[in-house]
Structure 1
Amino acid sequence: MLWRHNLLASYRTQWSCVGRLRSEIDRLRQQLAKRDVTIDQLRRENFNLRNTLVHRSKFRMELIELLKSSFC
């Protein structure tokens, strides 16, 4: 009878570990999903900032050329 009690205790312990591992896996998956969302947001922001920079650079160059032509 003692062996049966020990076996059940061991079985419960193993299932407890499995439950904790599943919880940890779920938590890690949620972290990955949040990380992916953050990366996508940063990529979009980076793209938008690069476009803004390109447009401003073009505007500055056009302005410089305009000023050069008006003074020459």
Structure 2
Amino acid sequence: MTILSINNLSKSYKHKKILDGINLTINSPGIWALVGPNGVGKTTFLNVVTNLLPTTSGNIELMGK
């Protein structure tokens, strides 16, 4: 079973793309890290995945839902 499936995820604020066409599939449980420099959209990505912010486009499935 796929744990997390993200397809073509995009998020924009005031016509500025913060996330653009992200695809990610996690097939097994584990400990994962999201790393990168300041200002690249890590917090926005997590807020969209946890449904704290709406997506501009794309699809997110968590455990098939």
- Write 1 or 2 for the structure with the bigger share of helix: 1
Same fold (TM over 0.5): no
* Larger Rg computed on CA atoms: 1
Give the TM-score normalised by structure 2.
0.22
Give the TM-score normalised by structure 1.
0.20
- Write 1 or 2 for the structure with the bigger share of strand: 2
Higher RCO (CA 8 Å, separation ≥ 6 residues) = 2
